[in-house]
Structure 1
Amino acid sequence: MKKIILLFLILTAFDLYAQEFTTRDSITIRLRSGNELSAIVVHNKGVPQPLPALVRYSIYASPQTDRYFNTLSSLRGYVGVTVYIRGKYLSTGEVKPFVNDATDAWDMIDWVSKQSWCNGKVGMYGASYLGFSQWAAVKKLHPALKTIVPQSAVGIGVDFPSHNNINMGYMLNWIHYATDKKLLDSASMAEFSDQKKWTRLFNSLHTSGKSFASLDKMEGRPSALFQEWLAHPSYDEYWAKFTPTSEEYAKLDIPVLTIAGYFDVDQSGAIHYFKKHNENNPGAKHYLVLGPYDHIGLQQLSMPEMVAGYKLDSAAIFKTYKLTFDWFDYILKNGPKPAMLKDRVNFQVMGENSWNHASTLADISRRHLKYFLRPEEEDGVYQLSQEVFKGTKTIKQKIDFHDRSDTISNKINTLILDNSLHIGKNSLVFETGKFEQAVKIAGSLDGELSFIINKKDMDLKIQLYEKLADGRYLKLNDDMLRASYSKDHSKRQLITPGVKTTVQLTGNTFFVSRKIAVGSKLVFVLGVPVEAGMEVNHGSGKQVSEETIEDAKEDLIVKWLPSSYINLTIT
């Protein structure tokens, strides 16, 4: 309801009542497969000539809200169209997230482009699942589709339903939210947002020591889709088939604008699409906008002033939908290119109140600050040193899988800027000295972590903070990865116990840009997650979702080697 009221106020500001709109919300699009997709179309009566159409291709059937989004498009000189995937609203067939979207997109776009109100040009936009559906739509590119604007795009098999091959309990909540009903009603929203219910469930599974695969049965509604997803822990053909192949990326020559955030759970997906497109098509007309935004903020009409306790620089705050519609004007109406797109990669430097620009991610900088994990500790804090430790001393860590005290109620705080450093009980803290001059970093956290363990696998939790001069902690990176998938997300490579193993951080962590202030310190937190709300990797080598506490058998013993280091890219 709050969203509806907000949109109502926005539309009023656009002088909504001075214009008339034709709204049709019971349209069905016949597909060659025999199925039908339902669509909502809003067209400005005051503009009789055919116009470009802007399509939102959605699993979230909320007609009242979607009519408002379509009206926004109409106010900017387009026809607004929302199309629901199979099984949602009036669309026929079974709801199968991700499965049929690419197959149906060509017919859907073909239908839109041939309507009397469309001039034959189609653009697509939207966030989260609606970001994914755009990438599905370009697998077989329809000539009428001229551009896409994926915001916070879900990277299927990359960051959802697992992140770096680690399954998260949220996936079950989302399955029920997105698939149980044809419409998103108040009851669906209430259950989805019922944190007490889901916290109890995740904590119960965690403390019981049962397998992650038993989560759906514990919840009371066994889910075939949940089990199907768990059966594919690698990024295999099951996931890859939903989005473009290398050959399809190579042929993708339409302009693309990707918008993503440093604190967005789907940043990995957005960067994955950007990299794949550019790797396979060096001439790709693909622009990237990155800033200090989270998943919710990226779906709002304007970037908020605060994100999880962190106040954004004024330069970071822009109207998301203005950029989106200005882009459509540029591509579909030969308008000027949006001013903030000064190069292909555009990123906001936190703390500097500015934007930087580069032609590629690799061109941001080739200089690094290299810090080794030094095995010298004082008051529970180890050193991050630019000099490698010469001795043979290691940092020893013991993980007791039977200790299930890290439940959701006492897990790491979600604030980005906080007065305390909230870490898990199985984490180590490393700290630099104070910076004597400001340093500007940009990019993903790079480096190598070398260790010896007594098991066949383990998961890693990696965090990077700036400890400000006033003692507060600013979270810059918060990520997880599975050691056995660190080299190749499509193939599990188990660890040989007792033998040195090296995990590459490159390509496994989030992008962030920040001006580290004079007097600040950098804090690196390295841990092994044994937490509620996610799989627990007991290291047996079995499929992790099937492991139980019985597979723990003995504690995990980790010896972190002093050759381990992290790299920070300096711009």
Structure 2
Amino acid sequence: MKFRDLMFGALLALAGTSLTQAQSFKEFNEGFPETVQKMYHVPVAMGDGVKLATDIYLPDKTGKYPTLLIRDMYTNGSAASRQKYAKFATSNGYALVFQSVRGRYDSEGKWYPYFQEINDGDDTLSWIAEQSWSDGKVGMFGSSYLASVQWLAAINKNPALVAIAPAVSPGNYYRDVAYPGGAFSLLSRASWGIGLVGSRTNMSFPVDWVSGINHLPIETLAQSVGFNVQHFQDWIAHPSYDDYWKPLNLEDRATEMDVPAINIGGWFDVFLRSTIGSYTTMTEQSASSTSRNGQRLIIGPWPHGWNQSSKLGDVDFGENALIDAPAMLLDWFDYWMKGSTKPKGLKADEAPVRIFIMGENVWRDEQEWPLARTDYRPFYFHDNQTLSEKSPAKKTGTLKYDYDPADPVPTLGGNIMMPKLRGPYDQKPLDDREDILRFVTEPFTEATEFTGPISAEIYASSSAPDTDFMAKLIVVKPDGTAFNLVDGVIRARYREGFEKPKLIEPGKVYKYEIDMWATSYKLSPGDRIRVDITSSNYPRLARNLNTGAEFAKTSEMQVAHQTLHMSKEYPSKIVLPIIP
């Protein structure tokens, strides 16, 4: 039996089970077994001599064990959530090593996100493999930054690293973390980069990160709320994709990695694009057939805090939305690290991709991503604000709106970190705004599924030398409820690529391609699709001030008069991946 068939029986069977808040490892609340050996704050030297505080948990004082490694920057290992990871590992015959990353909590060195994790992760893997209690095999798991460190450690192809399970992980730090579509991810970079992780320990100073970050210019934003954070200043100093960001484009570095991975993501996660990107690039380009065939993808109806609740925003996706994460992880690591061939729940004919179909609210396994049977259909915008598969026949057709940076469209749902804003929300609070163009289809007469990458191609002109254009895909229910599924943005100066910005000529029509990432939804008869076009999404994204000035350097702004073109010559459209 091939591993491709074998392992996905376990993964997919378990993904379909329901367990409330499974990701919290609630079943590991009890104390450690008496045999567990614990060693706290062991100083482990990195290649440059800096010592990182490392906790070690062994199932017993004798024997050699496969090891699960967590490298963390959010706690020092004493938090209940991290203790549960140690209980999970040791109760299942694994050693667990918990390490605070460089410059955080009791670890020496200077804290600076991301870059230092490449060598530190590699050094830690080598150290574990050399220990008397280690059998030489190491696996890694964790979410968000705890997932980032897995990919970064994998770059050096350390032979000790045999499997990883990154959840909701960034993979292209320019396109996902900092500048989606070329527009600065203001809310997450300020609240996380300045507020939470601006020093050695997590911080919670009384700063309103949603409505209190409208300070301009952005280059003095941190100072305006009382901080001086070097990594935040570096992020805003590099608004284009340049040599600063290239080491962190893990999609371009797949050839340097050789490790099987479960890529776990959420349709409403801020790093969804990278979850899919990591799966596809590793499947196609990673260094060995074992690694290429060992990639797995699972995407649920989750935000960045994955697998915690069936309800997100204004929508409840039902009890099937949650999975038994600990059992899934145990099967995964048992196969790679203990030679297990028959995990519980095994089915031999399952597939490498598992996705949750929203609307129908069911899990489904697939053979590839994107789905080979996809029918990519264009839906065109018309100047009567309809959306249809019929292409425009008119020689001219336009709609106009004004974008005022002093009064931006407020963020309402989407793929963001902030718990009170993320996910699907009824868009009714934005109905009165005149700076949004809305295009809607006729009601669908039969159930229709779209699953896969979403993109918009619009033709637009502006009175400004630089501006933003945004598209949001919305499902409109028969009762009038209209909730968002996915959106995207393109900053005009990056319409031809993110490396070399080029301002636009006011009044000239340009084609803008908007990457809206991906989603999966099954419409019911009577549902309609709506697409909203606008130029702001604040504070999720920093406002384009429309002046063409260098990013973050100015507080000067101007109103942009925007024109969307819809004609035979300029067929603005959205392309949906319809599944027959």
Give the TM-score band, short-chain normalised.
0.7 to 0.9
Q: Give the match for residue 218 of structure 2.
A: 212
**In 2 relative to 1, CA 146–530 (structure 1 residues): closer, same or farther, beyond 3 Å?**
closer
Partner deviation per Cα, 1:310-347 (whole Å, 9 max, x = no partner):
21243332122321222111221222467599323221
Structure 2 residue 274 is matched with structure 1 residue 286: no
CA distance in 1 between partners of 2:437 and 2:139 (Å): 48
Using the TM superposition, give the Cα deviation of residue 144 of structure 1 relative to its aligned residue in structure 2, in angstroms.
0.6
- Preserved contact between residue 33 and residue 91 of structure 2 (Cα < 8 Å): no
Residue identity matched to 1:386:
E
- Preserved contact between residue 61 and residue 182 of structure 1 (Cα < 8 Å): no
Structure 2 residue 476 is matched with structure 1 residue 467: yes
CA distance in 2 between partners of 1:491 and 1:271 (Å): 26
Match of 1:509, SS state, is strand
Using the TM superposition, give the Cα deviation of residue 360 of structure 1 relative to its aligned residue in structure 2, in angstroms.
2.9
Runs of 5+ unmatched residues, structure 1 = 377-381
CA distance in 1 between partners of 2:346 and 2:425 (Å): 30
**Which of 436, 441, 465 in structure 2 is aligned with 1:456?**
465
Give matches, 1:341-380, under 5 Å: 342-376=350-384
Match of 2:62, SS state, is coil
**In 2 relative to 1, CA 547–445 (structure 1 residues): closer, same or farther, beyond 3 Å?**
farther
**Which of 117, 122, 126 in structure 1 is aligned with 2:138?**
122
CA distance in 1 between partners of 2:413 and 2:247 (Å): 39
Q: Give the match for residue 95 of structure 1.
A: 111
- Preserved contact between residue 287 and residue 343 of structure 1 (Cα < 8 Å): no
Deviates more, 1:478-487 or 1:151-160: 478-487
Using the TM superposition, give the Cα deviation of residue 366 of structure 1 relative to its aligned residue in structure 2, in angstroms.
3.3
Residue identity matched to 2:188:
Y
CA distance in 1 between partners of 2:553 and 2:109 (Å): 32
**In 2 relative to 1, CA 150–425 (structure 1 residues): closer, same or farther, beyond 3 Å?**
farther
CA distance in 2 between partners of 1:256 and 1:7 (Å): 21
**Which of 171, 183, 188 in structure 2 is aligned with 1:170?**
188
CA distance in 1 between partners of 2:425 and 2:506 (Å): 38
Structure 2 residue 575 is matched with structure 1 residue 567: yes
Partner deviation per Cα, 1:200-220 (whole Å, 9 max, x = no partner):
4224x2xxxx32222112212
CA distance in 2 between partners of 1:42 and 1:213 (Å): 44
CA distance in 2 between partners of 1:16 and 1:410 (Å): 39
CA distance in 1 between partners of 2:322 and 2:497 (Å): 37
Match of 2:175, SS state, is coil
**In 2 relative to 1, CA 447–417 (structure 1 residues): closer, same or farther, beyond 3 Å?**
closer
**In 2 relative to 1, CA 326–490 (structure 1 residues): closer, same or farther, beyond 3 Å?**
farther
CA distance in 2 between partners of 1:344 and 1:253 (Å): 18
Match of 1:164, SS state, is helix
Q: Give the match for residue 390 of structure 1.
A: 393
Q: Give the match for residue 222 of structure 1.
A: 228
**In 2 relative to 1, CA 106–304 (structure 1 residues): closer, same or farther, beyond 3 Å?**
same
Residue identity matched to 2:404:
F
Residue identity matched to 1:365:
R
- Preserved contact between residue 102 and residue 139 of structure 1 (Cα < 8 Å): yes
Partner deviation per Cα, 1:74-99 (whole Å, 9 max, x = no partner):
12221111112111122111101112
Using the TM superposition, give the Cα deviation of residue 30 of structure 1 relative to its aligned residue in structure 2, in angstroms.
0.9
Structure 2 residue 61 is matched with structure 1 residue 50: no
CA distance in 1 between partners of 2:425 and 2:562 (Å): 32
Using the TM superposition, give the Cα deviation of residue 533 of structure 1 relative to its aligned residue in structure 2, in angstroms.
5.4
Match of 1:271, SS state, is helix
Give matches, 1:399-410, under 5 Å: 399-401=402-404, 403-404=406-407, 406=409
Deviates more, 1:532-541 or 1:129-138: 532-541
Q: Give the match for residue 379 of structure 1.
A: none
- Preserved contact between residue 546 and residue 560 of structure 2 (Cα < 8 Å): no
**Which of 253, 256, 260 in structure 1 is aligned with 2:265?**
260
- Preserved contact between residue 156 and residue 256 of structure 2 (Cα < 8 Å): no
CA distance in 2 between partners of 1:152 and 1:493 (Å): 32
- Preserved contact between residue 169 and residue 274 of structure 2 (Cα < 8 Å): yes
**In 2 relative to 1, CA 446–342 (structure 1 residues): closer, same or farther, beyond 3 Å?**
farther
**In 2 relative to 1, CA 383–315 (structure 1 residues): closer, same or farther, beyond 3 Å?**
same
Residue identity matched to 1:564:
S
Aligned length: 538
Using the TM superposition, give the Cα deviation of residue 260 of structure 1 relative to its aligned residue in structure 2, in angstroms.
0.3
Match of 1:221, SS state, is coil
Structure 2 residue 534 is matched with structure 1 residue 527: yes
Partner deviation per Cα, 1:160-181 (whole Å, 9 max, x = no partner):
1332322114312212445444
**In 2 relative to 1, CA 466–499 (structure 1 residues): closer, same or farther, beyond 3 Å?**
same
**In 2 relative to 1, CA 289–491 (structure 1 residues): closer, same or farther, beyond 3 Å?**
farther
Q: What TM-score do you get using the length of structure 1 for normalisation?
A: 0.86
Q: Give the match for residue 512 of structure 1.
A: 519
CA distance in 1 between partners of 2:350 and 2:323 (Å): 15
Using the TM superposition, give the Cα deviation of residue 407 of structure 1 relative to its aligned residue in structure 2, in angstroms.
5.9
- Preserved contact between residue 219 and residue 552 of structure 2 (Cα < 8 Å): yes
Match of 2:99, SS state, is strand
- Preserved contact between residue 100 and residue 107 of structure 2 (Cα < 8 Å): yes
CA distance in 2 between partners of 1:410 and 1:261 (Å): 14
CA distance in 1 between partners of 2:523 and 2:190 (Å): 39
Structure 2 residue 557 is matched with structure 1 residue 539: no
Using the TM superposition, give the Cα deviation of residue 272 of structure 1 relative to its aligned residue in structure 2, in angstroms.
2.9
**Which of 177, 186, 198 in structure 1 is aligned with 2:209?**
198
Give matches, 1:427-506, under 5 Å: 427-505=436-514
**In 2 relative to 1, CA 19–202 (structure 1 residues): closer, same or farther, beyond 3 Å?**
same
Q: What TM-score do you get using the length of structure 2 for normalisation?
A: 0.85
**In 2 relative to 1, CA 139–528 (structure 1 residues): closer, same or farther, beyond 3 Å?**
same
Residue identity matched to 1:22:
Q
Match of 2:176, SS state, is coil
Partner deviation per Cα, 1:366-415 (whole Å, 9 max, x = no partner):
31232100101xxxxx1002112211333332324364265679999655
**In 2 relative to 1, CA 274–561 (structure 1 residues): closer, same or farther, beyond 3 Å?**
same
**In 2 relative to 1, CA 32–435 (structure 1 residues): closer, same or farther, beyond 3 Å?**
same
**In 2 relative to 1, CA 252–8 (structure 1 residues): closer, same or farther, beyond 3 Å?**
closer
CA distance in 1 between partners of 2:317 and 2:393 (Å): 42
CA distance in 2 between partners of 1:8 and 1:328 (Å): 16
**Which of 232, 251, 259 in structure 1 is aligned with 2:238?**
232
Partner deviation per Cα, 1:473-530 (whole Å, 9 max, x = no partner):
232113333233344233324333333211123xx22221111111111111111116
Q: Give the match for residue 44 of structure 2.
A: 29
Match of 1:63, SS state, is coil
**In 2 relative to 1, CA 464–457 (structure 1 residues): closer, same or farther, beyond 3 Å?**
same
Runs of 5+ unmatched residues, structure 2 = 1-20, 415-419
- Preserved contact between residue 254 and residue 285 of structure 2 (Cα < 8 Å): yes
Match of 1:435, SS state, is coil
- Preserved contact between residue 86 and residue 93 of structure 1 (Cα < 8 Å): yes
**In 2 relative to 1, CA 409–431 (structure 1 residues): closer, same or farther, beyond 3 Å?**
closer
